[in-house]
Every structure is written in C-alpha cells, then in structure tokens.
Amino acid sequence: MRAAVIGSGNIGTDLLIKLIRGSGAVTAAAMAGIDPGSEGLARARRLGVPTTAEGVEGLIGLDGFEDIGIVFDATSAAAHHANAAALAPYGKTLVDLTPAALGPYVVPPVNLDEHLDATNVNMVTCGGQATIPVVAAVSRVAPVHYAEIVASIASRSAGPGTRANIDEFTETTARALEQVGGAARGKAIIVLNPADPPLLMRDTVHCVVDDCATERVADSVREMAASVAAYVPGYRLKQEPQFRALAADDPLVKLSGGGRLLVSVYLEVEGAAHYLPAYAGNLDIMTSAALRTAERLAERNPAR
C-alpha cells in the first residue's frame, strides 16, 4: 500500500525513514510540508520521495495521489482537523499521530484489529502508546478503578508540535487510558526533562485494583511488554511490577472508589535512532506504532 506523510518535522521525517526501511507492506509515496526549506522535505527529495511544500492541498495535487491508500498526519491537533476535512472526499485512510482524536484510539497490541475498517485512526500520544498496554494488561486480570501515568521525556525531543499540544496530550491520554486501557478513571501527566545529556523516555504506571492474584497481573504485564517490544525494540520494563497494599485512609482508596491494591510499573523506551537520537523514544514509539498500524491495514486490503 502506498502512503504519504503530512508533516516534515521530526516525527514525519522519522516515519518516512521507517517506511523506506520497513517491510515493504507500506511504501513511501510522498511527503507534504509547509516549509520549503525544511530538513524533512530536503531529506525526502534526496531519498527519491516526491514532495510538496504546499501542505495537504499540494499533496492532493501531486501526480500519483490517486494511488495513495494511507495518509499519515504528523502535524498538530489543530492542523489535523483541516487536513482531515480536505482529504475526506478522496477515500483515503488517515493515521493520525496528533492528539486531535477525530477517529478511534488505536494502540496496536490492545485494539488494532477492532478498527481496521475505520477511515481515521488516532495513535493517541507517545505516553499513551507506552502506558496504555500496561493498563490493559492489568485490567484483563483485575478491574482497574484508577490509572495514573507519568511520561517523562527529554526536553530536546519535544518539538514545537509537542509543546503546543500539552493540554491535548494530557486530555487525550487520560481518555484513552479509560477507553482502550479499561480504567474506570484515568489521569496523565507529562514531564519535559531538561537534563543534559538527555535521558531516555521513562514512564510510570500506577493502577489501583482490588485484591487479586499478583503473579497473574505480573505475567500479564510481562506478556504485554513483549508484544510492544516486538515493534518497538527499545521498549522494556525497568523492574518487575510492584504491588503495595493500600491503607483504608490512603487518598488513592478514596480516589479510586475503594481499590485496596496499588500496581506500579516502571518503563523505559529507547529510540531506534533511525533519524532521531536514541533518547527520543517518545517519538520512536509513535512512529513505530503508526507503521505497525499501517502494515496491518495493508494486510487487510493488500490490493489497494
């Protein structure tokens, strides 16, 4: 299946390189941006990929546009609304890497196969792609009354799009913790870490559940982590899942509506360094998840 990338920044460029290096199920057909002098468009041209600096309208006007089946949007939440409207008449499948969330949330190892017929799928956020699988792994063993995640990313890996969408990040991730992860209530926090040299992405997941078989929960988390690592090799547990009984007066008990066991999981995501530095695991997990989604869509409709 032929695919185009809208957005010539860090995420779009990394995704383009993954498409070129990938399995061949999805191939790079075009890149669209709005800055004629961007490094992303220049790199695409050097790699032999058709480009336009006129955004989505320029993409629609490119030769071969009619043969493109998938369009990745790596712009911003606000821009995705306009891009989706412009592409709506052309029957393309959109894979949205912004927090716009016009379509259903997709986290590949959790619910990808449920949305293969959707025309616009949303990849949630980097923190969501890292942590929602863990919440889902816990919830398939015990009901999760409350889930809270903290995503800590290197400040250098947070470009203008990420910084402009902080509110959307927290809101979208929290909703997806509930709708995809299965938590009754979700909360998301993002931390831009200014450390120099930059640190790898770290994610903390806390789930409040009822008393349950802790080893079953741990096994489920390990299994899910392996599923994510199959397409994000730098994804790993920093230690074994931790369990702590909560006192009756613990604020988390009241917040969760009565759960008495806290499950804590600590993650690290190292980027593949295809284009971005290894510390930019937050961007790598997004582009890897988007590519995995597109590959599955191509398997579903190989003739396109």
pLDDT given at position 160: 77
> Do 34 and 136 belong to one domain?
no
For residues 211 and 22, what is the distance between their CA atoms, to the nearest angstrom?
43
Residue type, 33: G
pLDDT given at position 303: 55
Q: How many domains does the chain have?
A: 2
Quote the tokens at residue 58: 């320029």
Quote the tokens at residue 209: 């559940």
pLDDT given at position 99: 87
φ/ψ of 115, rounded to 5, equals -130, 30
> Do 149 and 227 belong to one domain?
yes
pLDDT given at position 300: 82
Domain region containing 39: 2-123+285-300
pTM for the whole thing?
A: 0.94
pLDDT at 246 over 60: yes
Q: What is the CATH number of the domain that holds 35?
A: 3.40.50.720
Q: What is the CATH number of the domain that holds 153?
A: 3.30.360.10
> Do 135 and 270 belong to one domain?
yes
The 3-state DSSP class for residue 182 equals coil
Q: Which is catalytic among the residues 107, 124, 126, 141?
A: 126
> Do 132 and 275 belong to one domain?
yes
For residues 171 and 181, what is the distance between their CA atoms, to the nearest angstrom?
14
Helices (H) and strands (E) in the chain, counts: 11, 12
Q: What residues are designated binding site for NAD(+)?
A: 8-11, 157-165, 282
pLDDT at 168 over 80: yes
> Do 62 and 115 belong to one domain?
yes
pLDDT tens-digit readout, 23-43: 789 999 999 999 999 999 999
Name the pLDDT band for 208 (thresholds 50, 70, 90).
very high
The answer to whether 212 is a known catalytic residue is no
For residues 52 and 187, what is the distance between their CA atoms, to the nearest angstrom?
39
ω before 194 within 30° of 0 (cis)? no
> Do 96 and 149 belong to one domain?
no
> Do 178 and 242 belong to one domain?
yes
The 3-state DSSP class for residue 60 equals helix
pLDDT tens-digit readout, 107-120: 999 999 999 999 99
> Do 114 and 247 belong to one domain?
no
The 3-state DSSP class for residue 41 equals helix
Residue 290: its H or E element: helix 281-300
> Do 267 and 130 belong to one domain?
yes
> Do 245 and 167 belong to one domain?
yes
Alpha-carbon distances, residue 8 vs 12, 31, 271, 301 (angstroms): 5, 7, 19, 27
User: Cβ–Cβ contacts within 10 Å for residue 144, how many?
Assistant: 27
For residues 239 and 69, what is the distance between their CA atoms, to the nearest angstrom?
41
> Do 269 and 294 belong to one domain?
no
pLDDT tens-digit readout, 49-108: 999 999 999 999 999 999 999 999 999 989 999 999 999 999 999 999 998 899 999 999
Q: Which residues pair with 187 in a beta bridge?
A: 148
> Do 141 and 86 belong to one domain?
no
